[in-house]
Amino acid sequence: MKALITGGVGFIGSHLAEHLLSHGQQVAVIDDLSSGRLENVAHLRANPHFHLAIDSIANEIVMDRLASECDIIYHLAAAVGVEMVVHSPVHTIETNIMGTAAVLRVANRYRRKVVLTSTSEIYGKSERVPFAEDDDRLLGPTTRSRWSYACSKAVDEFLALAYAKERGLPVAIARLFNTIGPRQTGRYGMVVPRFVAQALAGEPLTVYGDGRQTRCFADVRDVVRGLARLAECSEAESEVFNLGSTREISIAELARLVIAVTGSRSQIVFMPYEEAYEAGFEDMQRRVPDVTRAARVLGWRAETALEETLRAVAEYAVARRRGAEGAGAR
């Protein structure tokens, strides 16, 4: 089995590459390094079953060759992160819509199954708890940049399902809820790597809003196991699956947990949304997945305890800082 991972140098893509290689598959990765970091796959480069193309998914010549040579495509390349979306909406919309269109076009040419990674952001600010895959979605106005991400990913889902319906292309869609683990960067706004970095540096943890908003954080290693199940499972075709943890935690509680896990003496400070993002920023109060479908069809559920993942994130951050200091000293 030979897999192609778009965005395979990124946080989730690099864990997926590792998972597939450890299960005896060959892995080709295409990544333009726009948000992925080469150090994420440094340990895989010597593996003869791992191939890396540093290029854009918009390069159709390269994508054509890679698609022709693989059995399955995991499409993860995308512009992600609330901060990236708010500050670079043109890049977000163009990358997500045109990039996915290019991937589906070549996949269809060679009749390769596509596992498309989408997002829980799709549900928008609907107040339903939990979110099931066929629920209605509630998005804010086009004047609020945040919603461009949800819309762009919704178009990706529509397009993938359209290829499935009209052209018979095998596709399966994963809606990822907040995914965390080693190698995730806080650069684009993600809360866990930020809190961990702040706690390790003894700086205040910045909780946006009143901190009562909740999320469910799944370990990336559980998530990539789910993606691999979507690839294997023919029953998953033309379907959408929530992949996420069902343990709900408020952001203020998360901050306290990060402080406890890292043994930090940091304080917690509360920061208004308009200061953190932009005026009129809209956040979701709760975001909880209904994972009944993933459990029934894929036999999947998130298993790793949040504390264990936070410890792994902290260990990674410490090791990375030591590496950087070592390199600086040399």
Site residues (vs ligand UDP, CB under 6 A): 82, 178, 189-191, 194, 206-208, 213, 215, 251, 283
Amino acid at 216: C
Q: Which is nearer to ligand UDP, 110 or 273 (CB)?
A: 273
Report the C-alpha gap between 103 and 38 in whole angstroms.
22
Closer CB to ligand UDP, 164 or 216, in the complex: 216
CB of 205 to ligand UDP, least distance (A): 8
Q: Which helix (H) or strand (E) holds 210?
A: none
CB 66 within 8 A of CB 121: no
Shortest Cβ 276–ligand UDP spacing (Å)? 7
Alpha carbon distance 248, 215 (integer Å): 6
Distance from C-alpha of 299 to C-alpha of 294, rounded to nearest angstrom: 6
Return the number of the residue (208 or 241) whose C-beta is nearest ligand UDP: 208
Q: How far is the CB of 8 from ligand UDP (least distance, A)?
A: 22
- Residue positions annotated with a catalytic role: 149
Q: Which of the 8 DSSP states describes residue 298? A: I
Measured CA to CA in angstroms, residue 87 lies from 80, 91, 120, 185, 271 at distances of 11, 9, 20, 17, 19
Give 218's strand partners.
Answer: 179
Cα 158 to Cα 102, 124, 151, 164, 218: the distances in Å are 14, 16, 10, 10, 25
Closest CA relative to residue 128, chosen from 138, 139, 117: 138
Residue found under tokens 């106005």:
141
Q: How far is the CB of 176 from ligand UDP (least distance, A)?
A: 10
Cβ closer to ligand UDP: 62 or 271? 271
Q: What is residue 305's DSSP assignment?
A: -
Closer CB to ligand UDP, 179 or 304, in the complex: 179
- Looking up tokens 């690839």 gives 231
CB 6 within 8 A of CB 57: yes
R_g (Cα) of the chain, nearest Å: 19
User: Shortest gap between Cβ of 207 and ligand UDP (angstroms)?
Assistant: 4
